[in-house]
A = this chain, B = another copy of it.
Amino acid sequence: MTDFVTVSALAARIGNGAKLALPVDYAGVAMAATDAIIARAPRDLHLVCVPTGGLQVDMLLGAGLVGTLETSAVSLGEAGSAPCFVRGVRGEAFRLMDATCPAIHAGLIAAQKGVPFLPLRGLIGSDLVTRRPDWKVIDNPFGENDPIVLIPAIEPDVCLFHAPEADRMGNVWIGRRRELATMAYASKRTLVTVERIREDSLLADEKTAAGVLPALYVDAVAKVPNGAWPYALWGEYAADGEEIGRYAEAARTQEGFEAFMAARAEKAA
């Protein structure tokens, strides 16, 4: 059954060494939970960006919590490059597993289906394939001289995202952002922050049911209004581009990053 907890208690469920899956910037990023995670400071996280990372990932990198980063890209979008990511790559601050978007999806879907791998077209000839010895190229057993890449299952310990609402049973409205469901299916535990909690069941009406991640997959929910800020939440509010820009500017140095984060934590407290 789904637990309803504070954002701090939610963050406490992400332990040292956890493989943590996080969504792309427009899918519903649990930004408020980022501060709670940084406050608890789990060590040696393995981040899986689904399929790319942004502000949240850059903050976790800057806070030094990340041992491994598996992603197809990290960027602040319009605000430019992700400063802690760029600095960390240069300084070898973490192990890097460069991927490509459909490979991340394929790995999660393999886990969703409980199979060891999924085949994926494309990729051959990319240096990613040589840099990812965990990917294998085999000859398609249904073809002849037809090399194809196999992507191993990605099985996160935990995934974390932000959504508009949950109901009291623990069902979560994810709308058409179905990669959030894929993350939850693939992960051992799913943590969700939401704008609001409603009393009636999201599954009661077939209209809303279609966009629901069932409680079966949801371990804990924390209510955090405006919890994706400064990112947008689809159907709810727009991104705060200026705040993202302020971060991009501040985090150009590690000191600037730390000052920014301290101010952010103070504001949240």
Contacts and interface: CB of A to CB of B under 8 A. Distances in A.
A57 B210 CA distance: 27
Given A142-B152, A175-B206, A210-B175, A120 B116 contact: no
A176 B207 contact: no
B176 A206 contact: yes
Contacts of A174: 210
Contacts of A211: 206-207, 209-211
Interface string A103-131: 00010000001111111110000000000
A114 B106 CA distance: 12
B148 A115 contact: yes
Number of copies: 2
Given A115-B148, A121-B115, A209 B175 contact: yes
B150 A142 contact: yes
Interface stretch (A24-32, A133-141, A182-190): A133-141
A235 interface: yes
A114 B149 CA distance: 13
Given A176-B209, A234-B206, A119 B116 contact: yes
Contacts of A136: 141-142
Contacts of A152: 142
Interface of A: 106, 113-121, 136, 138, 140-143, 146, 148, 150, 152, 174-176, 206-212, 234-235
Lowest 9 CB-CB distances: which A-B pairs, in order? Answer: A210-B211, A206-B235, A115-B119, A175-B210, A210-B210, A116-B142, A176-B210, A136-B141, A175-B206
